[in-house]
Amino acid sequence: MSASLQEIIKQLENDERNSAYTERGIPPIFQINADAKILLIGQAPGKKVEESKIPFHDQSGKTLMDWLGMTPDVFYSKNVGIMPMDFYYPGKGKTGDLPPRKFIAQEYHSIVRELMPDISLTVLIGRYAVDYYLKDQKKRNLTETVRTYEDYIPEFFPIVHPSPLNIRWQKKNPWFMQDVVPALQHEVRRALK
């Protein structure tokens, strides 16, 4: 028998590896709904998201909504699940945020995923999600994996992270906005039908 969302949240809050967050009153940050058709798997909440406690409630989220062709009403609806690789902000590193802690995906993703039985499209956002879910099916790097997105649909759709830090990558790879984003929007519409 699968655990309820409340049981999973309690388990996360009682997990000593998350005690620094629980003590500060920060809950696991995700969006889980039994009716979700699309699942978004990003890396981890950033500092702004930790403050608002709303997934993708930042500049990356605005860009992601544009790429998906979604309004905030659709993005934050029961049709969309958001399950990052880490449910908490992992902190600041030398060049941006620290990577998501591995145990969250390893120990919690499958039980959280069971709560969303109707997912028909999983969008893998950035290297951490792509590496974890595509494993040896991925290409030699993230750029090649994203370029060959058709190899993974209808189950998965790999994309780069919508962070403002990726603007240079987008300029070097104009095919992403020209070819990949329209295909992503098509798959989103199909999944929401």
pLDDT in tens, 13-55: 999 999 999 999 999 999 999 999 999 999 999 899 999 999 9
Could you say which DSSP state residue 99 is in?
Answer: P
The model's confidence at residue 158, banded by pLDDT at 50, 70 and 90, is very high
pTM: predicted TM-score of the whole model, two decimal places: 0.95
Residue with tokens 């709303």: 54
Residue 157 has pLDDT above 60, yes or no: yes
pLDDT of 164: 83
The model's confidence at residue 1, banded by pLDDT at 50, 70 and 90, is low
Instruction: Give the mean pLDDT of the chain.
Output: 95
- Mean pLDDT throughout 158-177? 92
97 neighbors 90 (Cβ within 8 angstroms): yes
What is the share, in percent, of the chain residues with pLDDT greater than 90?
A: 90
| Torsion angles phi and psi, residue 96, rounded to 5 | 110, -165
Tokens of 152: 């993974």
pLDDT of 165: 80
Residues 141-153 have pLDDT tens digits of 999 999 999 999 9
- Mean pLDDT throughout 91-115? 92
What is the share, in percent, of the chain residues with pLDDT greater than 70?
A: 99
- Mean pLDDT throughout 57-82? 97
- Mean pLDDT throughout 89-99? 86
Residue 81 has pLDDT above 80, yes or no: yes
Q: For the chain, count helices (H), then strands (E).
A: 12, 6
| Bigger pLDDT: 95 vs 60 | 60
